[in-house]
Amino acid sequence: MRCFVVFAVVALCWQCSEGPEPFLPKPVNEAVIGGLDSIYIIPPGASLDLRPEISFTLDPSPDSSRYRYEWIYVAKEGFNTGDEYTVIEESPALTFSPSVVMGAYRLVFRVYDEETELFTEWPFKVFVANEVYEGWMLLLEADGRTQLDMLSYQHDSKDYRLLTDVGSRYPNSKYTLTGVPKYIDFYGSFTDNMLDGGVVVGTSDGAFTFSSTELAIQSNIFLENMGAGHTVPPEAYAEANFKGTWYVSFIAANNQLYSQNESSYSGPKPFLPVYRPQEGEERIPLVASPHMAIDKNAFFYVSVFFDEEIDEFVWYTVNDGCRRLAAGNTFERNKRWKLEMLDYATINGGTYTAIMRDEETGELYVNQFTLREKLVFQKLDGAMVSDAEHWVTDPNTGRIYFCSNQTAIFEYHISSGQFKRVVDFGAAVTFLKFNSFLYLVPVSTGTTVSHSRYTHLQTCLLVGTYAPTQQPIGGSFIVYDPVTKKEILRQDAIPKPIDAVYRER
């Protein structure tokens, strides 16, 4: 056996010594692309001249006929046009003239080696944007009037720049932003561009819609967009509320709820009443609380509303209207209730959380349910609940946050019934909010170049604070991560913050 092993090893060595020479890769005269950035930002209607610097790793002056150049238009972020991956130029230089539609355009420059069939490429993005293209819209109260500021996101430096009073910068506005500030929201609309979003600002003088390109006021919803025969008296403007989604929007005003459905390309539709679940032939408008919970991920935008006249939760879809929601109506119906909060979270396949106040005793209760199942209905006990305000639910986790004693922010754990102190910013809290990003919803518009950034921001708590002793600029806007307990963004020295929303792209 030992002799056989030795013989086999010797034979194997002999075979190896007689084999072919090992393969050595041949060096390639590889193209090196320089002189291009990864991000360019140009205003609408402008052109971009690109002249890259091309060098080679071996021969600095190769045969030019051996190389081919291609500029490839990959896609416009969030916009499916059908012309993706198109070669738009076959030369070493490019003058890129995108459409006036603002957005992020993805391109690639390639240098092909025809002999080796290898290529070198440089991907980059061109943002067609103005100064108010994207960022946090801050609704402020300055000396009793409405002021709209913006923290404009800078894609090249990845930070924010404060723009003051942007709501009055554009001379082509149809209206002037007046009144006492109340709310602000972002929505998707066909009005300016099929896939662009607009901003709605609510004040005591109306609900003003801003264009998706500039921040020019286009309309006052109460004066121009209500359905025929449906009017909202001016004294009801201050108590209204607006919630927007992709092409479906709701406005609660004068104890009624109205919806607008832009489900076709024929332009915006009027706001029409939402009716109670129908019994017989009579259609009765929903006497709605201004609090609304909307599942923006659902195809028909499943929404839950509260009828204040009969103390009843209903669920609503665009196609089927309102239906009674048995799972949400397990509380004592013979009492009078006031809704303090109604929010949606994605947990448990979609969970709705309401904070309800017994109007007779003043006691607070949490009511949590899905469309099919009651989850929790329990009383909120604790000293910090007596003056609790600014209730809000994390749309991702379902965690409940609120402010107590004006400055302290708490989290309420439903499972244990316990309260946990989160943070105290040392100034009176004026609002708490989570921003639900529409561009994270899987709709036909495609994805956004800012997907990962938006995903993180959606987990952060938005906080407005105000120190009256430092007026008129004692306000602060804070983006706070409740998990890491870190401030992601902070803007001080602003007027009193009332609300905020992110202008997405």
Encode pLDDT of 101-126 as tens digits: 788 888 999 999 998 889 999 999 99
Cis peptide, bond prior to residue 25, ω within 30 of zero: no
Mean pLDDT score, 282-304: 88
Residue 33 has pLDDT above 50, yes or no: yes
Mean pLDDT score, 130-141: 95
Q: Which of 180-194, 318-332, 440-454 is modeled with the greatest confidence?
A: 318-332
CATH superfamily of 31-128: Immunoglobulins (2.60.40.10)
Mean pLDDT score, 227-238: 95
Torsion angle defined by CA atoms of residues 183, 186, 188 and 190, in that order, rounded to the nearest 10 degrees: 60
Strand (E) or helix (H) holding 7:
helix 2-17
**Predicted local confidence at residue 136, as pLDDT:** 98
The sign of the CA dihedral 243, 249, 252, 256 is negative
Distance CA 503, CA 505 (A): 7
The total of other beta-carbon atoms located within 10 Å of residue 28's CB is: 13
Residue 180 has pLDDT above 80, yes or no: yes
Residue 236 has pLDDT above 90, yes or no: yes
pLDDT in tens, 47-68: 999 999 999 999 888 888 899 9
Residue 15 has pLDDT above 60, yes or no: no
**pLDDT tier for residue 261 given thresholds of 50, 70 and 90:** confident
Could you tell me which of 69, 210, 265 has the C-alpha nearest to residue 501? Answer: 210
**Predicted local confidence at residue 263, as pLDDT:** 63
φ and ψ at 221, to 5 degrees? -50, -40
Residues of the chain with CATH 2.60.40.10: 31-128
Share of the chain above pLDDT 90, in %: 65
**Predicted local confidence at residue 262, as pLDDT:** 74
Q: Which of 98-107, 278-287, 348-357 has the lowest mean pLDDT?
A: 98-107
**Predicted local confidence at residue 193, as pLDDT:** 37
Distance CA 278, CA 298 (A): 23
**Predicted local confidence at residue 79, as pLDDT:** 54
| CB-count exposure of residue 478 (10 Å: 0-12, 13-18, 19+) | buried
**Predicted local confidence at residue 338, as pLDDT:** 95
**Predicted local confidence at residue 7, as pLDDT:** 39
C-alpha gyration radius of the chain: 29
Q: Are 312 and 324 in contact (CB under 8 A)?
A: yes
Distance CA 391, CA 394 (A): 10
Average pLDDT, the chain: 88
Residue 14 has pLDDT above 50, yes or no: no
Distance CA 152, CA 134 (A): 6
The 8 Å CB, 24+ separation contacts for 2-10 are none
Mean pLDDT score, 130-149: 95
**Predicted local confidence at residue 194, as pLDDT:** 34
Distance CA 33, CA 109 (A): 9
Mean pLDDT score, 218-247: 93
Distance CA 480, CA 460 (A): 5
The vertex-17 CA angle with 12 and 19, nearest 5°, equals: 95
**Predicted local confidence at residue 81, as pLDDT:** 52
Top CATH class of 135-400+492-503 equals: mainly beta
**Predicted local confidence at residue 412, as pLDDT:** 94
Distance CA 356, CA 82 (A): 49
**Predicted local confidence at residue 80, as pLDDT:** 54
**Predicted local confidence at residue 443, as pLDDT:** 60
Distance CA 424, CA 485 (A): 11
Cα 7 from chain centroid? 74
Residue 249 has pLDDT above 60, yes or no: yes
The structure's pTM equals 0.86
Residue 390 has pLDDT above 50, yes or no: yes
Residue 222 has pLDDT above 70, yes or no: yes
Distance CA 4, CA 325 (A): 85
Q: Which residues contact 348 (CB under 8 A, 6 or more apart)?
A: 370, 375, 398
pLDDT in tens, 417-438: 899 999 999 999 999 999 999 8
Mean pLDDT score, 147-168: 94
**Predicted local confidence at residue 192, as pLDDT:** 41
**Predicted local confidence at residue 10, as pLDDT:** 40
**Predicted local confidence at residue 301, as pLDDT:** 76
**Predicted local confidence at residue 281, as pLDDT:** 80
**Predicted local confidence at residue 109, as pLDDT:** 96
**pLDDT tier for residue 272 given thresholds of 50, 70 and 90:** very high
Q: Are 64 and 46 in contact (CB under 8 A)?
A: no
Q: Are 166 and 206 in contact (CB under 8 A)?
A: no
Please write down the HEC assignment for all residues of 92-140: CCEEECCCCCCEEEEEEEEEEECCCCEEEEEEEEEEECCCCCCEEEEEE
Q: Are 173 and 217 in contact (CB under 8 A)?
A: yes
pLDDT in tens, 467-497: 988 777 899 999 999 999 999 999 999 999 9
Distance CA 142, CA 227 (A): 33
**Predicted local confidence at residue 294, as pLDDT:** 94
Residue 100 has pLDDT above 80, yes or no: no
**Predicted local confidence at residue 447, as pLDDT:** 65
**pLDDT tier for residue 299 given thresholds of 50, 70 and 90:** low
Q: Are 107 and 89 in contact (CB under 8 A)?
A: no
Residue 2 has pLDDT above 50, yes or no: no
Q: How far is CA 254 from CA 133, 232, 359, 407, in A?
A: 34, 6, 20, 32
DSSP string of 271-289, one letter each residue: BEE-BPPPBTTB--B--B-
Residues of the chain with CATH 2.130.10: 135-400+492-503
**pLDDT tier for residue 3 given thresholds of 50, 70 and 90:** very low
